Structure 1
Amino acid sequence: MATLTTDAIQRSLEDLGTPLADVTFCVVDLETTGLSASECAITEIGAVRFRGGERLGTFQSLIDPGSAIPPSITVLTGITSAMLIDAPRIAEVLPSFLEFLGDAVVVGHNVRFDLSFLNAALAETDRPRLSNRSIDTCGLARRLIRDEVPDCRLGTLAERLRLEHQPSHRALDDVLATGDLLHLLIERAGSLGVTGLDDLLALPTMAGHPQADKLRMTDSLPRSPGVYLFRGRRGEVLYVGRATNLRARVRSYFSTDTRRKTGQMLRETARIDHLACGSALEAAVLEIRLIHSHEPRFNRHGNTWRRYAYVKLSLGERFPRLSAARTLKDDGGLYIGPLASTSAARTVIDAIQSVVPLRRCTCRATRSPGTGPCVPAQLGLAACPCSGEVDEEQYARIVSRAVEGLTSRPDLLIDPLAVLMRELADQKRFEEAEEVRCRAAALAGALRRQLRLGRLRESGRLQVLSPGRGGAEFCDGLLVQAWRADAAGDPTLEFPPASGKRPVPGEPIPRDIADELNCVAAWLESESHLLRLEHCDGTLADPLTRIPTFRPMTDPHA
């Protein structure tokens, strides 16, 4: 049985991400004829590659910008037009510079300025933009040492921090000073638990977060798949989520996530627990079960299952009719769903009733009809056994058609809607055609999901393997255990049965397990090309004719 982890643990080397000591940084600085990358040009490039604090190589070149150097730039940098007479043009320098840069992480002080000029030069020479990751030492300095210096200009930082190299507004001098600053900032960042490249890249925005002091809660999180739980002061679960990289995902709440509810959640958070998983499937199933179990206040997705509804055909009645039901009853009815809401169920009902004239009146049909036809019957939209216009045998044929369409022949319901939609579109009645499309899409989605989950429920005990990756075992569509390929067949997690009654073929799908069934079905479909079937008690097959998808219509003349 898997247990939640809250304490720091000894992590493997894979959990540490890319250690900063193994990262190759290329510190870059440019001198230019002005501030605008679209109107000005590069006059000098300087770059130095570092790894583990060691200087690996140096690149420096003056560049002919193709225009005179403004006097203000000469005063600032000391570069004159005469110095650039024999210098190469940028098109000649770029190939060697790109080779020197390689896939290193680009570092600069206000690196966005340097990258804008480099990308402009690449565009002018028909080359793609740089895809290298980048680090701005100015942004890092603002987060790590802002209180120690009057400002974060490179000259000020070099002087106050007594860096070995001092900037001079020449590319190579500025690069060496920026390199010194980078290594000092990396050392400072280590005190915040920054050990990998991903942490360093995210630090500028994290450290300025109002709840940045809670970043220490993420120190024990591995860089592997799993589920995380934000807990309040009383231990209550505030939020449950999953990630392929637990550490990176949880730390992102302190940087890139600006949603209002995230700020409130972090203010209430007193502890962050996690459960590492061997695969994304395990994490997805655990997330669903934990959300259903704890019903966290800040979870929206996955926390609405109690509001799911069904489309019910009341086969237990003498004259069955359709209705939206919130709960399942052992009343002999045919249930389709669960669907997202009562409103979604009513949309599906509208679609069915527009094809099959089932009665819409809610009164109880008697054996001695004495009332007139209901309004839908008067409009020709429904059969009305209450008035005696349709006898029991005739109505049974209508019900049989509906049952067949909902269980084994979805085309009986879908095709007439598709024909009607096309006819309305051909008549340029686009609004009406769109209404039909929406109903058809809702019905098709409900039937597609019903058939998919029903197929999975009938598979019994199912075991699949993914060569080189691991395997999983399911019972009636629910995950029982999963294992990794390197675990010698031992399960990495053994899952207890999900809450609620396990499904039996032919019975309606309980809403408390519908999310997990849907998750497993989606995983099996997406991974089918990688999986090998090892065992299956029942059947596992797709219908030969797939239910169509009704995408939004577009007016060809719009």
Structure 2
Amino acid sequence: MEHLFAIFVFVFQQSLEDLGTPLHEVTFCVLDFETTGGRRNIDMITEIGAVKYRGGEELGTFQTLIDPGCAVPPEITVLTGITSAMVSRAPKMEHVLPTLLGFLEGAVLVGHNVGFDLAFLNAALRRSGREAWKGQKVDTLAISRRLIRNDVPNHKLSTLAKCLRLPHQPNHRALDDAHATADLLHHLLELASALGVLGLDDLQQLPTMQRHPQAKKLRLTEDLPRSPGVYRFINKRGEVLYVGKATNIRSRVRSYFSSDKRRKVDQLLRETELIEHTVCKGPLEAEVLELRLIQNLRPRFNRRSKNWSQYVYVKLTLSERFPRLSIVSEPKGDAGFYLGPISSRRVARDVVDAIETVVPLRRCTKRVPRQVTAGPCVAAQIGTSVCPCSGEVTEEAYSEIVDDALLALSNHPEKLLKPLRLRMLGLASQQRFEEAADLRRQAFALSTVLRRQYQVEALRSFGRVVFEDFRTGLTTLENGCLVEFAGETGGVGMERNSLDGVTGKREVAELWCVANWLDTEAHNLRLIYCDHPLSSRYPCLDNFQIKKDLALV
């Protein structure tokens, strides 16, 4: 059985599923507008022309004049031949939009300088109270500049149609121009196919792809599949530079050569000599594999998931006579109560401040003597904590405070979060907004840490669980971590913390990932097997986002 980190295998003969959306299966709708001018928010559409194609076959046309609600400027009439009299009895744009949108539905919008036509379309949609058009688009102007840049004097549609001897010649009438643009599209598709452009995603990336300074390394992406999984950039010494995940490996990796302008990416591509990949069943498997690879390989260009060693814990020092809260780097084999791991010391400090706002635990860090040796500390003098050093509280009375804190942190978080929200609202009502904002930040940190703590504790208590996702098949979890990939047992397990009940730093990122997956994908899952009942006794927690009660204070 091959384990999780088996040798990466490249697939040279791609399956039909790996081809993405083949261009011959894409429905293209070529759209052209005639307008009263070039200002999308002021000028109006006077004519619509659209032609729909699939596999080179014309499926239908759409053409109509539009009443712009204003006179057609003389210079526009000279250019297009459209007069005010011609459009005076034409329908208004708002009456035509439903039919036009139906014609465009499910198609990839095509235009010569498609941004111009799309801007006028979205302006019309906005005026009628509709949302902007969000479909995919292809610009023949940008593609022609990439493929035939040196073959024509310019890239105007009329020039291209003449030089390429296209069947239709544009004449500034919408339908004729749409037909000419469609002819140009088909000519460009033939040229692009010779470069290995077979899918829609490749066609859309083509205008920016070849101008990248590292474009020669695009050959490294030729055999990448269009499947979910994990990819690795590797240098000439065999060192892994970067690990990433994607729902479409090929499209994501090729995007580094086009849309990503970060200097860090440019340096990554300069050093890359090989790109390897692993195909995964779905997003969870890909994300977990990415996490494990980053933790084991520590790639130089990855930031995410490498800082787990800097995580900290908030500890309630139950082994002391008078327990207190402290921030520690590692849990110890003592009787302490631990919250975490927490991603940074700053967040941990906010958690401690939030707890101490409600529970008057001692703030001093020195050992409490048996005999009274000093007066109350500053925190005790202002009433925010008790002070065992001054003898004002007995061990029995202090143990009740500690028990209340443990009960709130373990089972009843509302005993902490509700007083925090009330105090935050009180500060806001007194116009002490900076203090209210600080308290809100601290309360949010506490709520987030508790929510994650409860999720992780629940996951680790489930034992072995098997889910079935109708899209990706079986998923097996062991104490909250993924242990089975594509029906085969993973050979690399996560490092466990030796202390019962305390989550280790290395495993917590994967546990958070699995918890989020269960929250978002529960409606797609069917439980096949579980060692223990899947239930959580923890309530939904206040996330301390801005609410109406705070906004109205």
Give the alignment's TM-score, normalised by structure 1: 0.87
Q: Which residue of 2 aligns with 1:537?
A: 531
Sort the Cα spacing of 1:546 and 1:61 in 2 relative to 1 into closer, same or farther, 3 A. closer
Sort the Cα spacing of 1:357 and 1:200 in 2 relative to 1 into closer, same or farther, 3 A. same
1:527 to 521, 532, 536: 521
Residues 455, 539 of structure 1: 8 Å contact kept = no
Q: Which residue of 2 aligns with 1:343?
A: 346
- Partner SS state of residue 5, structure 1: coil
Q: Which residue of 1 aligns with 2:244?
A: 241
Q: Which residue of 1 aligns with 2:148?
A: 145
2:418 is the counterpart of 1:415: yes
Q: CA deviation at 1:294?
A: 1.8
Q: Which residue of 1 aligns with 2:86?
A: 84
397-406 or 37-46, larger mean C-alpha shift: 37-46
2:501 to 497, 507, 515: 507
- Partner SS state of residue 146, structure 1: coil
Q: State the Cα deviation string for residues 440-491 of structure 1 (Å, max 9, x = none).
A: 22222222211211111111112222356522111111111144xxxxxxx0
Residues 434, 553 of structure 1: 8 Å contact kept = no
How far, CA to CA, are the matches of 2:320 and 2:432 in structure 1?
38
Q: CA deviation at 1:170?
A: 4.1
Q: CA deviation at 1:70?
A: 4.5
How far, CA to CA, are the matches of 1:389 and 1:68 in structure 2?
88
Q: Which residue of 2 aligns with 1:208?
A: 211
Alignment of 1:352-501 (within 5 A): 352-467=355-470, 469-483=472-486, 491=487, 493-501=488-496
How far, CA to CA, are the matches of 1:383 and 1:108 in structure 2?
73
Residues 49, 55 of structure 1: 8 Å contact kept = yes
Q: CA deviation at 1:281?
A: 1.1
2:38 is the counterpart of 1:35: yes
Report the residue type matching 1:196 in the other structure. G
How far, CA to CA, are the matches of 1:93 and 1:529 in structure 2?
39
Structure 1 unpaired stretches of 5+: 484-490
How far, CA to CA, are the matches of 1:82 and 1:394 in structure 2?
90
Q: State the Cα deviation string for residues 286-310 of structure 1 (Å, max 9, x = none).
A: 1111111122233223222111110
Q: CA deviation at 1:182?
A: 1.2
Q: CA deviation at 1:146?
A: 1.5
- Partner SS state of residue 148, structure 1: coil
Report the residue type matching 1:494 in the other structure. T
Residues 109, 138 of structure 1: 8 Å contact kept = yes
Sort the Cα spacing of 1:150 and 1:404 in 2 relative to 1 into closer, same or farther, 3 A. same
How far, CA to CA, are the matches of 1:416 and 1:86 in structure 2?
68
How far, CA to CA, are the matches of 1:379 and 1:119 in structure 2?
61
Q: Which residue of 2 aligns with 1:262?
A: 265
Alignment of 1:547-558 (within 5 A): 547-552=541-546, 556=551
How far, CA to CA, are the matches of 1:179 and 1:416 in structure 2?
66
98-107 or 430-439, larger mean C-alpha shift: 98-107
Residues 282, 482 of structure 1: 8 Å contact kept = yes
Q: CA deviation at 1:186?
A: 1.4
How far, CA to CA, are the matches of 2:379 and 2:185 in structure 1?
76
Q: Which residue of 2 aligns with 1:488?
A: none
- Partner SS state of residue 291, structure 2: helix
Q: Which residue of 2 aligns with 1:516?
A: 510
Q: CA deviation at 1:118?
A: 4.3
How far, CA to CA, are the matches of 1:426 and 1:64 in structure 2?
55
Q: CA deviation at 1:509?
A: 0.8
83-92 or 468-477, larger mean C-alpha shift: 83-92
Alignment of 1:58-207 (within 5 A): 58-60=61-63, 70-77=73-80, 79=81, 81=83, 84=86, 88-89=90-91, 101-120=104-123, 130-207=133-210
Q: Which residue of 1 aligns with 2:280?
A: 277
Q: State the Cα deviation string for residues 131-181 of structure 1 (Å, max 9, x = none).
A: 543211111111222233332122332344344444344444433432232
Identity level (%): 52
- Partner SS state of residue 517, structure 1: helix
Residues 4, 273 of structure 1: 8 Å contact kept = no
Q: Which residue of 2 aligns with 1:48?
A: 51
Residues 112, 140 of structure 2: 8 Å contact kept = yes
Report the residue type matching 1:501 in the other structure. R
Q: CA deviation at 1:37?
A: 4.0
Q: State the Cα deviation string for residues 97-119 of structure 1 (Å, max 9, x = none).
A: 55655533222212222334445
Q: Which residue of 2 aligns with 1:291?
A: 294
- Partner SS state of residue 230, structure 1: strand
How far, CA to CA, are the matches of 2:414 and 2:517 in structure 1?
26
Sort the Cα spacing of 1:315 and 1:159 in 2 relative to 1 into closer, same or farther, 3 A. same
Report the residue type matching 2:502 in the other structure. P
Sort the Cα spacing of 1:195 and 1:329 in 2 relative to 1 into closer, same or farther, 3 A. same
2:318 is the counterpart of 1:315: yes
How far, CA to CA, are the matches of 1:173 and 1:15 in structure 2?
37
Structure 2 unpaired stretches of 5+: none
Sort the Cα spacing of 1:118 and 1:310 in 2 relative to 1 into closer, same or farther, 3 A. closer
How far, CA to CA, are the matches of 1:134 and 1:322 in structure 2?
57
- Partner SS state of residue 354, structure 1: helix
Sort the Cα spacing of 1:95 and 1:375 in 2 relative to 1 into closer, same or farther, 3 A. closer
Q: CA deviation at 1:268?
A: 2.8
How far, CA to CA, are the matches of 2:459 and 2:37 in structure 1?
65
